[in-house]
């Protein structure tokens, strides 16, 4: 069978697919690009066999999927590509309009937990685009804060740091910027897992193992080739090469015990609030 494998077209996936894209690692499959929520939906509908999905998508229907071992997108502190930009402190956003991403279930769920437990505020969440990087368009929309994800968040975070060093704001009158990975780390002391790779349970085990082996080989090449991938990322996003290298080097693409602790803590809190059903982590069996 020709596998259908999902891929998020953000810079944060470059280390996992870079060697495959360059023909350095063989993967006889169709690669299908999509934002996280689109890949979630296609996996749920059976249109993909293996894919990276939002961590929340796995928890939402864990009986449908098997986790691919040692493969995830996570951070242990700042992530830099999942950011809340705000015109006032997050603790003062009760009743205020916060635009949230239609593209990432996990980022929105994490943001809601942080407002409930860290900032103790109850804003009004309104779904919108999360990949927009044009600050003029930001300013044209009525809101007090905005969740931005992916390459757009990386670009704005980098601009914001440069502006802050020069004594300015983060653009579009944003006086405050919050890195959700960093806030989670300060709150729980744990890493945060944003995305995992899964196979549908009805996919033949041999096919899923083949895909997993290729993805791991490509991931290993990517981790050793961050400078090359950073140059590619800079061309794609306009973010300086040094900032792209810092970003990619700060992410983790494994799924170790500490990462699993962070993932299960996230799930525990979502289960407590009735946002996902209680379930278990079930992995693809070893060959």
pLDDT of residue 137: 54
- pLDDT tens for 36-95 read 899 999 999 999 999 999 999 999 999 999 999 999 999 999 999 999 999 999 999 999
pLDDT of residue 88: 96
Strand 82-86 to 145-149 pairing = antiparallel
Res 102: pLDDT: 81
What percent of the chain clears pLDDT 70, i.e. is strictly above it? 90
Please name which of 81, 78, 84 lies closest in space to residue 138, comparing C-alpha atoms.
84
pLDDT score recorded for residue 1: 73
Token pair, residue 182, equals 């960093």
The pLDDT score that the predictor gives to residue 133 is 47
With beta carbons less than 8 A apart as the criterion, state whether 72 and 253 touch: yes
Outline where DSSP puts E strands in 76-153.
Answer: 82-86, 97-101, 124-128, 145-149
Identify the pLDDT of residue 170: 53
Rounded distance, CA 258 to CA 76, Å?
Answer: 9
Please, what is the average pLDDT of the chain?
91
The DSSP symbol for 286 reads P
All structural domains of the chain, each given as residue ranges with its CATH number in brackets, are 3-74+191-272 (3.40.190.10), 82-188 (3.40.190.10)
| Size of the chain in residues | 287
pLDDT the model gives residue 140: 53
pLDDT at 166: 46
Given a cut of 50, is residue 162 above it in pLDDT? Answer: yes
Q: Which of 68-77, 90-99, 155-164, 231-240 has the lowest average pLDDT?
A: 155-164
Answer yes or no: are the C-beta atoms of 54 and 265 closer than 8 Å: no
Query: In DSSP terms, which residues pair with 137 in a beta bridge?
Result: none
pLDDT at residue 139 greater than cutoff 90: no
Average pLDDT for 206-234: 98
pLDDT at 136 over 60: no
Give the end-to-end CA distance of the chain in Å, rounded to a whole number.
18
Contact (Cβ atoms closer than 8 angstroms) between residue 271 and residue 199: no
Alpha helices, DSSP H, located in the chain: 14-21, 36-44, 55-60, 105-114, 135-140, 150-165, 180-188, 205-224, 226-237, 241-250, 257-272
**pLDDT surpassing 90 at residue 163:** no
Highest mean pLDDT among 44-58, 91-105, 147-161, 170-184: 44-58
- Smallest Cα–Cα separation from 149: which of 111, 183, 115? 111
The predicted pLDDT at position 24 comes to 98
């Amino acid at each position: 069978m020709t596998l259908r494998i999902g891929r998020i077209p953000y810079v944060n996936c470059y280390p996992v697919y870079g060697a495959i894209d360059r023909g350095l690692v063989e993967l006889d499959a169709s690669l299908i690009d999509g934002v996280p929520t689109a890949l979630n939906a296609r996996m749920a509908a059976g249109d993909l066999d293996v894919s990276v999905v939002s961590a929340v998508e796995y928890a939402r229907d864990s009986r449908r999927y098997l986790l691919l071992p040692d493969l995830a997108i996570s951070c242990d502190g700042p992530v830099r590509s999942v950011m809340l930009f705000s015109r006032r402190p997050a603790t003062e956003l009760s009743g205020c309009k916060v635009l949230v991403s239609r593209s990432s279930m996990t980022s929105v769920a994490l943001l809601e937990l942080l407002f409930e437990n860290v900032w103790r505020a109850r804003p009004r969440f309104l779904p919108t685009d999360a990949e927009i990087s044009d600050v003029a368009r930001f300013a044209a929309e009525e809101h007090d804060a905005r969740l931005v994800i992916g390459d757009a968040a990386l670009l704005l975070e980098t601009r914001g740091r440069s502006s802050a060093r020069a004594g300015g704001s983060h653009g579009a009158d944003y006086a405050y910027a919050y890195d959700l990975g960093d806030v989670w780390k300060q709150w729980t002391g744990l890493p945060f897992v944003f995305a995992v790779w899964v196979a549908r349970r009805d996919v033949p085990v041999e096919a899923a193992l083949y895909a997993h082996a290729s993805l791991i080989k490509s991931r290993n090449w990517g981790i050793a080739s961050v400078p090359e991938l950073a140059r590619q990322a800079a061309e794609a996003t306009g973010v300086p090469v040094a900032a792209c290298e810092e970003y990619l080097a700060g992410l983790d693409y494994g799924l170790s015990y500490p990462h699993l602790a962070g993932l299960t803590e996230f799930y525990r809190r979502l289960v407590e609030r009735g946002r996902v059903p209680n379930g278990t982590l079930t992995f693809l069996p070893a060959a």
